[in-house]
Amino acid sequence: MEYPLIEKIETTIVDLPTIRPHHLSMAVMRSQAMVIIRLFCSDGIEGIGESTTIGGISYADESPEGIKLNIDTYFTPLLVGKPATQINALMKMLDKNVSGNNFAKSGIETALLDAQGKRLGVPVSALFGGTIKNTLPVLWTLASGDTQKDIDEAHQLIKENRHNTFKLKIGAKDPDVDVAHVSAIKAAVGSSIKVTVDVNQAWSESVAKRYIQKLQDNGVDLIEQPIVKTNFEGLARLTDYFEVPIMADEAAGTVVDAFKLAKIYAASVFALKISKSGGLTNIHRQAAIAQGAGISLYGGTMLEGTIGTLASAHLFATLPNLDWGTELFGPLLLTDDIVKKRIVYKDNGMEIPQGPGLGIELDMNQIEKYKRK
Q: 10 Å Cβ neighbour count for 276?
A: 24
| Burial class (CB within 10 angstroms; exposed 0-12, middle 13-18, buried 19+) of 106 | buried
| 127-351 homologous superfamily | Enolase-like C-terminal domain (3.20.20.120)
Ramachandran sector of residue 219 (left: φ over 0; alpha: ψ -120 to 50; beta: rest)? left
Catalytic residue status for 109: no
- DSSP letter for 326, please: B
Start-to-end CA span in the chain (Å): 43
- DSSP letter for 317, please: T
In angstroms, rounded to a whole number, what is the distance separating the alpha carbons of residues 70 and 245?
38
Residue 113 contacts residue 87 (beta carbons within 8 Å): yes
Specify the fold of 6-121+363-370. Answer: Enolase-like; domain 1 (3.30.390)
- DSSP letter for 249, please: S
**What is the residue type of 100?**
G
- DSSP letter for 300, please: -
In angstroms, rounded to a whole number, what is the distance separating the alpha carbons of residues 278 and 256?
12
Ramachandran sector of residue 93 (left: φ over 0; alpha: ψ -120 to 50; beta: rest)? alpha
- As annotated, the residues of the chain forming the CATH 3.30.390.10 domain(s) are 6-121+363-370
Residue 286 contacts residue 252 (beta carbons within 8 Å): yes
CA triple 247-309-28, angle to 5 deg: 70
In angstroms, rounded to a whole number, what is the distance separating the alpha carbons of residues 372 and 51?
15
In angstroms, rounded to a whole number, what is the distance separating the alpha carbons of residues 164 and 170?
20
SS3 string of 153-213? HHHHHHHCCCCCEEEEECCCCCHHHHHHHHHHHHHHHCCCCEEEEECCCCCCHHHHHHHHH
Per DSSP bridges, beta strands 222-224 and 194-198 are: parallel
Catalytic position from the list 46, 62, 304, 327: 327
Residue 142 contacts residue 332 (beta carbons within 8 Å): no
* Digit-coded pLDDT (tens) for 104-158: 999 999 999 999 999 999 999 999 999 999 999 999 999 888 999 999 999 999 9
> For the chain, which ranges sit under pLDDT 50?
none
pTM exceeds 0.85, yes or no: yes
Look at residues 59, 92, 104, 93 and name the one whose alpha carbon lies nearest to residue 308.
Answer: 104
Half-sphere exposure of 217 toward its Cβ, with a 13 Å CA cutoff? 8
Residue 47 contacts residue 113 (beta carbons within 8 Å): yes
- As annotated, the residues of the chain forming the CATH 3.20.20.120 domain(s) are 127-351
In angstroms, rounded to a whole number, what is the distance separating the alpha carbons of residues 317 and 131?
5
Q: What is the per-residue pLDDT for 353?
A: 96
In angstroms, rounded to a whole number, what is the distance separating the alpha carbons of residues 347 and 331?
16
Look at residues 280, 266, 345, 334 and name the one whose alpha carbon lies nearest to residue 303.
Answer: 334
Length of the chain: 373
In angstroms, rounded to a whole number, what is the distance separating the alpha carbons of residues 11 and 277?
21
Catalytic position from the list 68, 105, 167, 169: 169
Phi, psi of 62 (to 5 degrees): -120, 140
Helix (H, G, I), strand (E, B) or coil at 29: strand
Look at residues 56, 172, 60 and name the one whose alpha carbon lies nearest to residue 106.
Answer: 60
Catalytic residue status for 169: yes
* Digit-coded pLDDT (tens) for 283-336: 999 999 999 999 999 999 999 999 999 999 999 999 999 999 999 999 999 999
In angstroms, rounded to a whole number, what is the distance separating the alpha carbons of residues 327 and 338?
20
